[in-house]
Structures are given as structure tokens and as C-alpha cells.
Amino acid sequence: MSVAPPKMLATLRVNGAEIACAFNPNRTLLEVLREDLALTGTKHGCEMGHCGACTVLVDGETVLSCLTLAVECVDREIVTVEGMAGAGELHPLQRAFVECGAAQCGYCTPGMLLSAAALLESNGAPRKSEIEAALAGNLCRCTGYVKIVEAVALAAERMREAAHA
Amino acid sequence: MPEIRRVSTATNPDTGAAGTTAAAAVSSVARPAAPVHARKPEGFSVAGKALPRADSYAKVTGAAIYADDIALPRMLFGKLLRSTQAHARILRVDCSRAQALPGVVAVATGEELPVRYGILPSSPDETVFAIEKVRYVGEPIAAVVADDELTAEEALNLIEVVYEPLPAVMTIDEALRDASPKIHEESRRSDNVHKEVHLEFGDVEAGFAQADAVFEDEFFYEGNTHAAIEQHAVVADCSADGKITIWSSSQTPHYLHRIASAVLQVPASRLRVVAPPIGGGFGGKTEPFPHELAAAHLARKTGRPVKFALTRQEVFYTHRGRHPVKMKIKTGVKRDGSILACRLQTWLDGGAYGSYGVATTYYTGALAPVTYKMGAYAFDGCRVYTNKPPCGPKRGHGTTQPRYALECQLDKIAGALGLDAAAYRKRIAIDPYSETINHLRVTSCGLRECIDEVERRTGYSGRHGALPRGKGIGLAVSAYLCGAGLPIYWNPMPHSGAIVKVDRGGGVTVYCGTSECGQGSEHMLAVVVAETLGVDVMDVRVCAGDTDLTPVDLGSYSSRVTFMAGNAAHEAAESVRLRLAQAAGALLGIAPERCGFAARRVFDVGDPDRAVTFLEAAQAAEARFGTLVGSGSYTPPANLHGDFKGSGVGPSPAYSYTACVAEVGVDLETGEVRVERLTLAHDCGRALNPDIVEGQIEGSAYMGLGEALLEESAFRRDEHKIPNLLDYKTPTILDTPHIDAIIVETDDREGPFGAKEAGEGPLNPVIPAIANAVADAIGVRVYATPILPESVLRALDASPSGRLRLKSAPSPVPV
Amino acid sequence: MQRLPPFSYEPARSVAEAVALLSKYGADAMPVSGGTDLYANMKQRLFAPKVLVGLRPIRALRFIAYDDARGLEIGALATVRDLAESEIVVARYPALARAASSISTPQLRAMGTVGGNLCLDTRCNYYNQNLDWRAALGFCLKNGADICRVATGSRTCLAVNASDLAPVLQAFGATVHLAGAGGERTLDIAQFFTDDGRNALARDAREILVKIALPPAQPGTRSAYRKLRQRASFDFPLLGVASVVRLDAGGVCRDARVVLNALGPRPVEALEAAQCLIGTRLEPEALAVAADAAYKVGKPMENAGTTLAYRKRMLRVFTRRTLEDVAGAGAPA
């Protein structure tokens, strides 16, 4: 490759683990996650911010990894779909997506899950309109969004019940 | 939210249990006494249950490996150089500077892969890279593989292409002109017509002459594209022994296998195609593409694995999406609305290559009569070449556009004759177990029940024509195939094959060449096998879409998998079940016929407490018969269609039926249409998994909404105007209305456990239902899709009565 | 995958450091905050700076502050989401909160900054395309060619300012504060934009936008913003109309501003429309007259979604509706 500036060494905190890596400054978080760290659960459908498939959490906020440089994420907490499930146990959102049939082709699913996770972090009892607003940056081409909204509502309900228990 | 969504309408031929209506049984015309597949009188244990999809666990955890997730050691990255000219002669392609760029490993151009191919044997008009001529902006000319994608991209800029520009043909009208520049010189015609079809059933002119009223309308259906979220990707590898493996996001690994063998000049036995899970297809990944063939070629050339992952713009260029179609429809009716004659004419803008276009052309005529009785029917279809990315099949393949025209015209007829549009459609609806005017065999048919359901849920009949100005309600219906009755390349072999293996640990594996593109095909196979063998769905492992390991299935298109691969898997499982029953029967001391299978047990149907476990049965059977493997295959019956040229497109072993009601609000100042609710009732035969069926109905409704209001393949001068997901408007969650999906169950006698399709059919009525609702809301009609705000305003402006509330059309044209 | 071209990345920890880096690298460098516009444009090879100066670490510029004397101050690195959710903005400058919440998607509102939104590169559907697309159709003024594809006779680039915030800020009489090597300077926001889409900001390449200031909200002030778009999310405005009025205790309009955007390189203030409102009680007739006046000054081109004729027609409707919003409750539903 021509005129590539040298790689930078950095430590990224991904799904709770500190990972030392080296990347060029023009590498997006999406590229580093998928291609350097083999975290291919993060998908991409445009790399231009037009679809939301590459959504991950950075410091708890939904971020498009295609329009974020990896270098901008140093010292920040990155969560991908691989980091949602606990040891041997699905996140309530993941479980609800399975049970409601909210994942068809599954390609928008990781991004949807993380957008939904960010919502439930700040709003444990979202109305339907609030779920829709939170998912307005994630395109799905399979489901008509119906079962996705049902799944998020179901997961929220279960998380509230678990919190009360 | 949860209301009872399933409606059982048919009579089960085995149990004789009557449903809500007996339509399916009563009007039986040509019904054999015995069903093709034996049913289980004790009912189903897993079929029909809303079980979680086995493949969804991997999808929600990010563990599912799609084509672009594959990375192999020493893998190279490829990029395609694409034409910047819509129509030009290629005078020179010079790759020397690209080849010399550090990091570039190989380049390839047209002369290396000169074999012409086409997904249909009748249209072998493509090559991997353009040779001599380019025919659309975006057509591949050369490929580069390099150590990384940026270097490959940089190398593309170093390839010099010298063009001699030719005038581009960009519209149907231009293409029909004799003097238009020829896009395919080898065509013997003087215009750019690719395929012309003329069919007539009965005497249409006589029908018009006898009609009390004749209606003539013109409609235009705009092209649009699949826009699956996953962009096409492929990885190819060539091992030291010369065997090539292609992992590709393909809905049709078998066709890729066939054509790659021909194009690469490699025996099919030295070629393996694997379809990993696909991130959405909708018909957009159903034929071999240049990036797939180039990857295989360059893997062979370099001896290293090669990946091509298309950008979104390249996906728009690859296209094969919905054809733009101009339509004329002329219908002669009696005073009560009965259709005496109908003539449908279609002109399809095919883009630069054939693709499935010959089939698409026939499909624009084939399915209109599958919903309605007609006295006579004529169809004239014409597909033209233009200098645009090739069109092909998209969900509803070729039937979507004429369905829009027909259902809009029927509303006009109902209005003019003062008929309730729902009752009218029910009156002229095709009967179950009958034959259409174009000689298609109809089996189970829940069309009337579907209309009843949406009518009941929405109160359509009382509200249509009675809502305040700006509010509208519209109805439309449709029918769709459960797989094509004939293969796309002529051969007498099965359309689907499956192998079921039971291991001595009690595990079950089904092998089948289908590919999972999100529709739930793997789950459907697992349900059929689990139901047959009485095990849990999660006990069944599905190995799909691998030409080395799985028997051929023609692919995930034409809504064929549940029906055809399902039947093949059922037959395979039955063959194993027979041996299991013999072994278990011996253990239980009963005849094999008395063995029932459920809940991982094999039991005496006369005394269900007497049982062995499935595992015991499996081990006994393996001890007695050896390795437990059964195979099955499915070939559609031969009696599905008439005997005339062109009769091969349209026949299907069964048809699904759908009715849709759309409720809209129209802003009369801005022309913006807001769909408030879509209610769909779909006859899918028996729902093997109602959650999946609902998901297919909901997704179809959503996709139809996009086609009705937002999505269009737009061109600026001679290139795609909006090849990105920001400007090409797929509906967001906020644009998607409330969708009610109602399952109407018939029990198709040939479907696996009575099942038919659900993946495509429900899309078709959505567009005309919305169009009819908009017409109801504003009193005038927009005769083209998508129904854009500016079109609504134009229609209102142009109509002298448009600004008045006009609830019924003017008098019909007198004959 | 669409990838970024090579560059080096220099994070700035303070305004001074940012300005020093920009001065050091001159034309080779560009500042970046949220990156949502810049990275997408770079991926399309619209430009390829050798150095990106990252502003994100300048934490001090992420603030929203209000006091009754000085008014509202928005740090350039406040995110669009910060603005949309700011209680004071929602209460005192509702049109601004509404405009912010209408921008793109939740993800991009969390990533994108207020300063970045004001500094959006102008957009044109002949320009915001990949390199090979532009090569196929022919380059344009904004690409260094000598012809505008939208209006072949035009000497200037007609690409549009697609910021949702700009027209609202202008209607509120905002000022922008720029920091450069020579210190800070303040511009009326109307002066911040130029008439040429090639170089649509009056920002020197070595300056950064640090702050936007709005005068205190006067009693009786009402504001509204509406945007025309095809989808309820993701889309840039095809037309944005901001209206701000001040009514006296008797309900008579004493002050009014109507600003139109997404028509050309800069927001257009419909001065006559505002004049039509002053002295009225915002009766429907007055609103209609004002909407007609706005219709006359807005001149869309065929370079964004839908059609020129439709966007032009919607000028009147959208202007009147924002005025109905302010005549009614003060904020649209």
C-alpha cells in the first residue's frame, strides 16, 4: 500500500478484555473488530452510516463502528454482540430475539441488539414508540420490524421482573 | 397484542375434521382419494408449533459465519474494475501499471474467461468480464487481487480502459424503436427486444364483444431492488490438487456450481460450492455473478484464497432486481362483474442482460388467472434490453407488477358497477381444486377465507368509500407459486434431494442443498424431519447448501424450499422411519405399522405407554440394518399445466393465496401518504411454524410498502442515480405501519404436512392495496409506482374533479 | 468494504493545540469531531487530507450552558443528542431541540457534534457519490472541474447546506465563535456561510469552530422547525424551515424571522415573510401572505431528493405550517 503512515500500537478494551493491537490510523473500529480481532459478529451493510448494521456500544452509547476510527476508541469501553451473552447465558434481549423470531437473516441483528441494549440501559420500561425511536437507525430488510419490537418489549419486561426478584 | 391469528379453514382429508368452511373439500374437482403423504392421525408434535428457530442462536450471538466473515490464511482481496460507460466498445484494457503496483498479486481480464453463460440456458449473453463491449455503467471489465483491499482499489485506478462510446438506450420506448442502437449485436431483431410472448386462452375478442362493459387502463410499475443488508461476498480457494471451493452468499449454490464449472472449464466434480448463511436475498443472490467466478478464477491463478466483498454501490450495479414494467390491461365484464375476457400486455425493461428475464416475461402473464375465473385470457409480453444494470427476480418475481395493475383495475370495475370490492372478488375467485383459464392446476385455495378475514378485521366493506377525505382503505388479493413446476434447465431429475442420517447416539442430521437466506428454510427441514421421526427440532442438525455434502436442491427461490425440499426431506425421513419402526416393533412385539413416533419415543399407537426410546430404536435399527441413512427426492407432478409453448412458466404444485387491506392517510397539501395499518391474511397451507410464517408475512408487507411508496431504481442520464442506502429509500422502523399478519390454514394435499409457501406471496397484494387505499382517500388514482407525494399532487391537480370528493368512477366505457 | 484512504491522526487536547496543529499542517490537514460527515465523504474519495486533527479529546468544548443575561452557549463538541435532550434547550429554544432530534439516527446524533453539523460539507447528488460514479458522469465544480452539473451555466457551486441546525440557529440570531492562530473571532451565523458550495464556510482552514451563542430567550418567543424528507429517519432535509417569532403580551407579533434551508449553499432568510408577520396577531391570512413571500425567495435546484418542483411547492406549505405551529402552541406536536 502506498504512503501508509506507520501502524500505531494501542490497547483496546473490548467486551471487558484489554487487547493490545496495532493498526493504521485510517482503520475504522469496524475493520479492526472484524479483521484484526476476528470479532465478525459486528456486521456491515454500507460502511457509510446508512444502515446501522455495524452498531456497537462505546462507553454505553450506540456508535456506528464504520464511521469511528479505532484510534478514537482507545481508553473507551467497547461492547460488541459477542460481549452481550454472559458465560453460557444469553442476554435477555438475545433470548427474546430467539423466542420471538426477531432474527430472520440475522444480518441486522447484532446492531439491533446493541441499539436495544442501549435503550434498556436508560429506559427499563420503554413504550412501543420509544422502542421504535431507539431502533430508527437500524435498517432491517426481513422482518418488517414487528417481531423485533415485540422482542425488545419482552426482554424489557423480563429484565424488570429479574430486577424486582 | 396477542390475538388469535390462525384460522383453520380447510378440511383435513385424513381426519375429516371440518374447519370453519368446507370450501376446500366441497369444490374438489380432480382430487385423488388418498393424500400423497401419509398423515399422522394422532396429530402433530412439532409441526405447527411456534418453536424458536434453531439457527437464531448463532445469529443473536454473532457466531453465525456469513461469507464475508470467512478469512483464510494468505487470503487476497479482490476488486472489480467497472465500466464508467453505459454503452461503449472497449478498444483497449491495459493492466500493466496495475500489475506493477507493489502488493498486487494478479489481474484478470475478459479474454481469460471467454465462456458465455446465463442463468437460463436460453439467454447465454453474459461473460465474467465485458469483452469487446460494455453495456451498463458498473459492468465488470477486469479484476485485481492484492494483499489488501485498499491496494486493490488503488490498482483499479491504474488500469487504462479506452472506450469508443455508443449511444445508450435507457428506456423501454427507445429500446422498442427499430433504429435504436443494438445492445446485443447477435440478436436477429432490428430493435432491442429480448423476448416476446403471445398467448391466448379462449376467444378474447369475442369476450369483449359480449361484455356489458370494457375497461382499459395503463399502469407503470417502477423498478426497485432487493437491498438485502448483507452485501454480496465470496471467498474462493484452490487446493494444491486443483480442487476449487467457493463460499458465497448465494441462494442457488447448485446453479453457481453448474455455471462455474462451465465458465472455469473445470469438471463439476472438482468444484465445491458452499452457501453459508445469507444476510438476506429476496432474489438478489439467485444467479452466478462475476465476482464469484472471478474469485474462483483468481484463486486458481494465484494459488491463494481470494475474497471479493462488494460495496453497496456494486450491489446496486449487480442488481437483478424488480423489472420496470409498462402494462396495458383490458377487461370485459358482465353487469355483475364476471370477467368474460381479459387482455394483459406487458413491456419489461430488462437492463443489459438476460438474467431470468425470459421467465420474468412469462411470469408477468402467468399468474393473473390464478386468482380469478375468466372466460378468456390473452397475454402479450415483451422484454427489452436497455443499458442499465440487469433486472431479474425479486420477491414475487414478475407477478408483482401485473398484480398491481389487475387489482387496481378491479377496484375501478367494482366502483363503476357499484359492487362491493370484497364481495366482488370473492364471487369471481378461483375455486379450490380447479383449473385456471391458462390451464394451471389449482389445488388447495383459501382465497375467499383470506378475504373474509381481512374484511372482518378491518371492516373494509363498510368503510371503503365512506371515510373522510384524506383517509382511505384499500383491498387487493394475490396468488403465488410454491416452487416452479419445471426446472430452469431442462432435465428429468428431481428438483430437490435430501438425506437423513440417524446416528447411534440418537442424533439426526438432514443434508439438503438449500440455502438459508433468512426465510427459515433450515428450520423447516428440521421440523419436517423431527415431526416424521418424533424427535425434538433441536435434535435435528441441518447441513445445507454444500455441493460436496448435500444432494442437489435447485435453490432458495420461487418459494420452493418448504414445499419441495420439505417433501424430499420427508421422504428421506420416512425411509429411515420405516427401519426404525421395524426394529422398534420387534422390541415391542408389535407390527411396524403400529409404531408411533413422538417425544423421542417409539410407541405402540394402540397402547402409547408401551414404548422404547428413540435412542433404543435407533441402536436396534442400526444393529439390524446397518448405518441408518435414508434419501428422498421431490419432482413436481407432470400434470400441472397445459401443452403449449410457454406453458413451462407458471405451473406450480400448489399456490398460496393472500388478501391485504391497507389503511392510509394522505396529506392533501403535501401529497404524503402515511400507511396506518396493513392487514394481511395468507393461506400458507399448514403453517409448520406460525412464528416463521408470520415473520414472512410481516416482512413481505414491509417490503411491499417500500415498493408502493418509496423505492425506485432511478437513473440520471445513463447511470444509477442513487446507488446507496441513504438515497435509495428502504423504509425505516418509523415508516413501517402496524402490520397484522393472519394465517389462514388450508391443508394442501401435496405439501409436506400440508404446507405451502409464505415467503413471497404476501408481498404482492400490498402494493395494489395501498394504491387502492390512496385512490379511496383522494378520489383520483395514481397510475404508477412508487406513489410519491409529487405524484399524488399531480394526480390531484390534473383531475378536474380531483379536488372534489369522488367516490365512484365515471361510467364504464360502453362497447 | 468502503475504506478510508491513508492519513495520519493527530489528537488535539486543547483548542490551542488544535489550532497549532492546523497551522502546522496547513492545507494538508482537516479537523474532525464526530466524523460522521467527514469519514463518509473521505470514503467516497471526495477529499483525502494527509492529516486529521482530532478534536474529540477537547472535553472543554462539550457543554451547553444558559444564563438569563448571556443566553445560550453551545460548545462545538456538544453532541447533537446533547442538544436534543438539553432541558434548557427544549424549554427555551424548542425549535432547536426539535431540529436536533430530527437529525439522522440515534447513533449519528450520539456521534455527531453541533459544530460538525454546522460545518457539514454542502451536499449535491451529483457530488456525494463514489469516485467511479463521478468519473462516469463527469466531475463538477466542487470536484475541480469547470462545470456545474446541476446548472451548467452556473459559475458557483449550488450544493446545498443540509444542516438542520443552521436555519434554526440563524432564526434565533446565533453567533459562531472561531479560534485561530490570531485568537478568537465572532461572526453572525449568517456570515458564517457563503454563496458557493465549494467553499461554503467562512472558516479559515486553520481555524476551528469553538462555540455557538444564542441571545437570551425573550418572553413571548415561540419557535418551530419543520423538515421535508422522505423517511422519518436517516434522511437529510430536502427543505428545512425555521420560524421564530416574539409576541407581546397582547399577542401581537413584534419580531419574526423565517429561515429556509437545504435549498442552496447557505440558509436563506425570508425577510419579507418576516415583515409580513410583524404587527399581526398571526391570523391565518397573515401566515398565508408570509408563506407566499417565503415561496418567492426559496430557489431549490435539481440536486437533492424528490424534484425541484415539489421542493419549491413545499416551501409555501412548510413555511405556513411552521407559522401555524408558532401561532398555536409554540411548538409543533
CATH number assigned to the domain comprising residue B623 = 3.30.365.10
Average pLDDT, chain B: 93
Q: Chains with ≥3 Cβ pairs under 8 A against C?
A: A, B
Which of A139-148, B716-725, C324-333 has the lowest average pLDDT? C324-333
Chain C residues in contact with A57 (beta carbon < 8 A): none
Do B118 and B243 belong together in one domain?
Answer: yes
C125 touches B: beta carbon within 8 Å: yes
Give the one of A43, A90, A146 whose C-beta lies nearest to B279's C-beta.
A43
**According to the model, what pLDDT value does residue B646 have?**
87
Helix (H) or strand (E) holding B473: strand B471-481
In chain C, the residue whose alpha carbon lies closest to the alpha carbon of A48 is: C40
Chain A residues in contact with C106 (beta carbon < 8 A): 62, 115, 133-134, 136-137
DSSP 8-class letter at B68: G
In C126-237, at which residue ranges do the beta strands (DSSP E only) sit?
A: 175-180, 183-188, 208-214, 221-228
In a domain, A98, yes or no: yes
The residue that leads in pLDDT, B190 or B697, is B697
Give the one of A48, A53, A147 whose C-beta lies nearest to B695's C-beta.
A147
Do A79 and A100 belong together in one domain?
Answer: no
In a domain, A3, yes or no: no
In a domain, B116, yes or no: yes
In a domain, B815, yes or no: no
In a domain, A1, yes or no: no
B733–C233 C-beta distance less than 8 A: yes
Give the one of B150, B311, B699 whose C-beta lies nearest to A143's C-beta.
B699
Q: Identify whether B41 is preceded by a cis peptide bond (ω within 30 of 0).
A: no
CB B554 within 8 A of CB B359: no
Nearest to B248 by CA among B391, B120, B78: B78
C222, burial (CB in 10 Å: exposed 0-12, middle 13-18, buried 19+)? buried
In a domain, A99, yes or no: yes
What are the C-alpha distances in Å from C251 to residues A107, C216, C280, C328? 55, 20, 8, 11
Do A20 and A63 belong together in one domain?
Answer: yes
Q: For testing the chain A interface, which of C107, C131, C230 should be mutated: the one with the most A CBs within 10 Å?
A: C107
Q: Chains with ≥3 Cβ pairs under 8 A against B?
A: A, C
Do B600 and B477 belong together in one domain?
Answer: no
A81–B61 C-beta distance less than 8 A: yes
The residue that leads in pLDDT, B13 or B706, is B706
Find the DSSP H helices in B289-444. Answer: 290-302, 312-318, 357-366, 400-417, 421-428
**According to the model, what pLDDT value does residue B43 have?**
80
Question: How far B616 CA lies from chain A's nearest CA (Å)?
Answer: 30
CB C81 within 8 A of CB C109: yes
In chain A, the residue whose alpha carbon lies closest to the alpha carbon of B227 is: A141
Give the one of B85, B732, B793 whose C-beta lies nearest to C233's C-beta.
B732
Rounded CA separation C277/C255 (Å): 8
CB B752 within 8 A of CB B560: no
Judge whether residue A4 has pLDDT over 70: no
C5 touches B: beta carbon within 8 Å: yes
Dihedral of CA atoms C199, C201, C206, C212 in degrees, nearest 10, equals -170
Tell me, what amino acid is at B408? C
CB C97 within 8 A of CB C90: yes
Do B565 and B472 belong together in one domain?
Answer: no
Which of B182-191, B686-695, C53-62, C238-247 has the lowest average pLDDT? B182-191
Q: How far, rounded to the nearest angstrom, does the alpha carbon of residue C100 sit from its chain's CA centroid?
A: 10
**According to the model, what pLDDT value does residue B6 have?**
53
Helix (H) or strand (E) holding B341: strand B339-349
Answer with the one of A29, A48, A83 that is the final residue of a domain. Answer: A83
Kindly provide the ipTM of the predicted complex, given to two decimals: 0.97
C43–A62 C-beta distance less than 8 A: no
Count of Cβ atoms closer than 10 Å to residue C69 Cβ: 5
Rounded CA separation B682/B659 (Å): 7
Do B606 and B689 belong together in one domain?
Answer: no
Chain C residues in contact with A71 (beta carbon < 8 A): 9, 11, 54
The CATH number for A16's domain is: 3.10.20.30
The proportion of chain A whose per-residue pLDDT surpasses 90, expressed as a percent, equals 93
C152 touches B: beta carbon within 8 Å: no
Question: How far A94 CA lies from chain C's nearest CA (Å)?
Answer: 20
Chain A residues in contact with C36 (beta carbon < 8 A): 49, 64, 67
Rounded CA separation C231/B710 (Å): 8
In a domain, B544, yes or no: yes
Count of Cβ atoms closer than 10 Å to residue B369 Cβ: 26
In a domain, A121, yes or no: yes
In a domain, B341, yes or no: yes
Chain C residues in contact with A69 (beta carbon < 8 A): 4, 9, 35, 39
- 3-class SS of residue B117: strand
Q: What are phi and psi of B48, to 5 degrees?
A: 90, -5
Q: Write out pLDDT tens, residues B432-478.
A: 999 999 999 999 999 999 999 999 999 999 999 999 999 999 999 99
Give the one of B518, B736, B739 whose C-beta lies nearest to A106's C-beta.
B518
Measured CA angle at A147 (ends B64, B6), to 5 deg:
120
B150–C3 C-beta distance less than 8 A: yes
In a domain, B671, yes or no: yes
Contacts of B43 (CB under 8 A, 6+ apart): none
Do A14 and A77 belong together in one domain?
Answer: yes
Find the DSSP H helices in B418-459. Answer: 421-428, 447-458
Rounded CA separation C259/A30 (Å): 39
Rounded CA separation B44/B644 (Å): 41
Do A79 and A136 belong together in one domain?
Answer: no
Do A98 and A52 belong together in one domain?
Answer: no
If one counts the domains in chain B, the total is 3
Chain B residues in contact with A49 (beta carbon < 8 A): 726
Do A77 and A110 belong together in one domain?
Answer: no
Do B264 and B115 belong together in one domain?
Answer: yes
The residue that leads in pLDDT, B181 or B14, is B181
Tell me, what amino acid is at B758? A
If one counts the domains in chain A, the total is 2
Average pLDDT (B208-219) is: 98
A41–B61 C-beta distance less than 8 A: yes
DSSP 8-class letter at B182: P
Contacts of B803 (CB under 8 A, 6+ apart): B796
The CATH number for A154's domain is: 1.10.150.120
End-to-end CA distance of chain B: 51
Question: How far A163 CA lies from chain B's nearest CA (Å)?
Answer: 23
Do A71 and A101 belong together in one domain?
Answer: no
A40–B229 C-beta distance less than 8 A: no
Count of Cβ atoms closer than 10 Å to residue C213 Cβ: 18
DSSP 8-class letter at C150: S
Give the one of A39, A94, A135 whose C-beta lies nearest to B733's C-beta.
A135
Chain C residues in contact with A123 (beta carbon < 8 A): none
In chain B, the residue whose alpha carbon lies closest to the alpha carbon of A149 is: B733
Answer with the one of A83, A114, A137 that is the final residue of a domain. Answer: A83
Do A97 and A158 belong together in one domain?
Answer: yes
A5–C105 C-beta distance less than 8 A: no
Q: How far, rounded to the nearest angstrom, does the alpha carbon of residue B770 sit from its chain's CA centroid?
A: 21
Give the one of A3, A5, A64 whose C-beta lies nearest to C108's C-beta.
A64
Rounded CA separation B652/B553 (Å): 16
In a domain, B454, yes or no: yes
**According to the model, what pLDDT value does residue B539 have?**
96
Note down the domain range covering A43.
Answer: 8-83
C3–B734 C-beta distance less than 8 A: no
C313 touches B: beta carbon within 8 Å: yes
C47 touches B: beta carbon within 8 Å: no
The proportion of chain B whose per-residue pLDDT surpasses 70, expressed as a percent, equals 93
Judge whether residue B28 has pLDDT over 60: no
B659, burial (CB in 10 Å: exposed 0-12, middle 13-18, buried 19+)? buried
CB B668 within 8 A of CB B804: no
Residue recorded with cell 486529521: C52
Do B629 and B646 belong together in one domain?
Answer: no
Do B520 and B627 belong together in one domain?
Answer: yes
Judge whether residue C331 has pLDDT over 60: no
Do B53 and B126 belong together in one domain?
Answer: no
Which of A3-7, A152-156, B513-517, B601-605 has the lowest average pLDDT? A3-7
How many contacts (CB atoms, under 8 Å) link A and C?
Answer: 92
Q: Which of residues 199-258 of C touch A (CB under 8 A)?
A: 232-234
Answer with the one of A53, A83, A113 that is the final residue of a domain. Answer: A83
Average pLDDT, chain C: 96
Domains, chain C, ranges and CATH?
59-119+160-214 (3.30.465.10), 221-327 (3.30.390.50)
Give the one of C132, C230, C314 whose C-beta lies nearest to B729's C-beta.
C230
Chain B residues in contact with A3 (beta carbon < 8 A): none
In chain B, the residue whose alpha carbon lies closest to the alpha carbon of C133 is: B84
Give the one of B85, B719, B734 whose C-beta lies nearest to C233's C-beta.
B734
In a domain, A136, yes or no: yes
**What is the edge-to-edge ordering of all strands in the sheet holding C64-67?**
C64-67, C71-75, C208-214, C175-180, C183-188
C51 touches A: beta carbon within 8 Å: no
Rounded CA separation B591/B413 (Å): 62
Do B94 and B232 belong together in one domain?
Answer: yes
CB B297 within 8 A of CB B108: yes
In a domain, B23, yes or no: no
Question: How far B759 CA lies from chain A's nearest CA (Å)?
Answer: 10
B794, burial (CB in 10 Å: exposed 0-12, middle 13-18, buried 19+)? middle
Do A130 and A72 belong together in one domain?
Answer: no
Average pLDDT (B548-571) is: 97
Do B502 and B587 belong together in one domain?
Answer: yes
Average pLDDT (C274-287) is: 97
Note down the domain range covering B544.
Answer: 35-64+494-634
Do B536 and B624 belong together in one domain?
Answer: yes
Chain B residues in contact with A106 (beta carbon < 8 A): 55-56, 58-60, 64, 277, 279, 518
Sign of CA dihedral B547, B553, B558, B559: negative
Confidence of residue B7 (pLDDT cuts 50, 70, 90): low
Chain C residues in contact with A55 (beta carbon < 8 A): 107
B152 touches A: beta carbon within 8 Å: no
**According to the model, what pLDDT value does residue A165 have?**
83
In a domain, B394, yes or no: yes
Question: How far B550 CA lies from chain A's nearest CA (Å)?
Answer: 21
In chain B, the residue whose alpha carbon lies closest to the alpha carbon of C320 is: B669
The residue that leads in pLDDT, A32 or B25, is A32
B279–A106 C-beta distance less than 8 A: yes
Answer with the one of B318, B350, B379 that is the final residue of a domain. Answer: B318
The residue that leads in pLDDT, C318 or A5, is C318
In a domain, A22, yes or no: yes
Do B253 and B397 belong together in one domain?
Answer: no
B122, burial (CB in 10 Å: exposed 0-12, middle 13-18, buried 19+)? middle
**According to the model, what pLDDT value does residue B800 have?**
66
Pull the grid cell for residue A12: 483496546
Q: What are phi and psi of B7, to 5 degrees?
A: -125, 125
Q: What are phi and psi of B363, to 5 degrees?
A: -65, -25
CB B562 within 8 A of CB B514: no
Question: How far A120 CA lies from chain C's nearest CA (Å)?
Answer: 14
Do A41 and A106 belong together in one domain?
Answer: no
Do A105 and A62 belong together in one domain?
Answer: no
